[in-house]
Amino acid sequence: MSSIARLACIALALLLAAAPVECRTIVDMDGRSVTLPDKISRIVTIGPVPVLNGFLFAFGRQQSIVNGLPRELARNRQFVFAPELASRPVVQSSASGLAVEDIVALRPDLVLTMDRAATDKLAGLGLPVVMLKWREPHDIETLMALLGDVLEERQVAADYARYFEAVLTRIETTLGAVDETKRPRVLYVNYRRLTQPHRIAEWWIARAGGRSVTDDGREQESVTFSLEQLIAWNPEVIIVADRGEVEMAMAEPRLRGVAAVRDKRVHVAPAGAHLWANRTIEQPLTILWAASTLHPEKFSRGQLESEMRSFYERFFHMSLVREQLDEILAGSSGR
């Protein structure tokens, strides 16, 4: 261990009010060297909390998460996968930002975030902050490998990477060579804001056999547009964030001529540990669900449910009953 890392380890032990601990140094996805205790038992997740929690669920670390879900980010099924989260203190909100003193008081062995400002602020206090990134589709494999190193669960990370690729291959094989004219025009949208909120949707729509109407090679994470632009795109399938948005789109008189509304192909994205249409550990299920929605003649509901059972048993260590599968597939009711 270098002298700098040794000093960081001593400082970390003092911050955690703990006896001297064994430490190690890892390099996070922002290229930062982070000193961590060998044993990680208390984890704080900051920023996109449901997304980060989902990663930890896959490593069986539900009970290690010591903070709760911000009200505006609360997902009911997070409490199914990790009931103890309901009693954890909330340390961030969109209104007041980070409760820094409360975060320090939780004495985390590890802080996970995807936010640069939070990383700088908390690391400046000596907290062991690991910054994760997920912008490109296969960043998830790098991210999981890093967490496998951090949590010393490398086999879980490797197993997930193999599973991810195997599901993609099965879907690609079943779809076969889809003629471009048979790829439906698809819009994923937060309808209340008329925003396509996550660039990753361009990837999973294409992998599911669709053509995203917002996929123009954009680099920005989200794109906002007018109702007139939506009408001009004339998507054949619209995917929205919650069930309330389905009702809004179907009731909008100006959308009556849009193919997706006319043919009643407005669908709400499923919601498990997180909204499947956004960045989530459940991304392989996202693609299978989208493929079954766009090409129901090739993918049955039974296949999807079987894959869901397998995924949650394999990675979340939970056996879901039919009612729970139905609830996930029904999506969020909105907030």
Give which of 251, 243, 311, 234 is closest to 280, Cα–Cα. Answer: 311
- Structure token pair of residue 190: 């937060």
Residue range(s) defining the domain that contains residue 45: 3-132
In angstroms, the CA 45 to CA 177 distance is 41
- The pLDDT assigned to 154 comes to 97
In angstroms, the CA 331 to CA 275 distance is 8
Give me the percent of the chain exceeding a pLDDT of 90: 85
Tens-place pLDDT, residues 81-109: 999 999 999 999 988 899 999 999 999 99
Adjacent-strand bridge partners of 65: 43
DSSP line for 226-291: -HHHHHHH--SEEEESBHHHHHHHHH-GGGTTSHHHHTT-EEEPPBSSSBTTSS-TTHHHHHHHHH
Q: Are residues 105 and 218 in the same domain?
A: no
Residue 236 lies in a domain: yes
Q: Are residues 326 and 180 in the same domain?
A: yes
Q: Are residues 95 and 183 in the same domain?
A: no
Q: Are residues 241 and 96 in the same domain?
A: no
Q: Are residues 253 and 321 in the same domain?
A: yes
Q: Are residues 225 and 114 in the same domain?
A: no
Q: Are residues 181 and 73 in the same domain?
A: no
Residues with Cβ within 8 Å of 276's Cβ and at least 6 positions away in sequence, in order, are 269, 270, 282, 283, 285, 286, 289
- Tell me which of 102, 132, 162 is where a domain ends: 132
Q: Are residues 184 and 319 in the same domain?
A: yes
Do 292 and 299 contact (CB within 8 A), yes or no? yes
Averaged confidence pLDDT in the chain: 92
In angstroms, the CA 40 to CA 149 distance is 12
Alpha-carbon 128 to chain mean position: 22
- Structure token pair of residue 210: 């669709």
- The pLDDT assigned to 7 comes to 46
Q: Are residues 80 and 214 in the same domain?
A: no
Q: Tell me the angle at which helices 301-315 and 154-175 cross, rounded to the nearest 10 degrees.
A: 170
pLDDT band at 1 (very low <50, low <70, confident <90, very high): low
Residue 152 lies in a domain: no
Residue 144 lies in a domain: no
Residue 139 lies in a domain: no
- Structure token pair of residue 318: 């939970």
Total number of domains constituting the chain:
2
User: Domain with 100 in it: what CATH number?
Assistant: 3.40.50.1980
Residue 270 lies in a domain: yes
Residue 165 lies in a domain: no
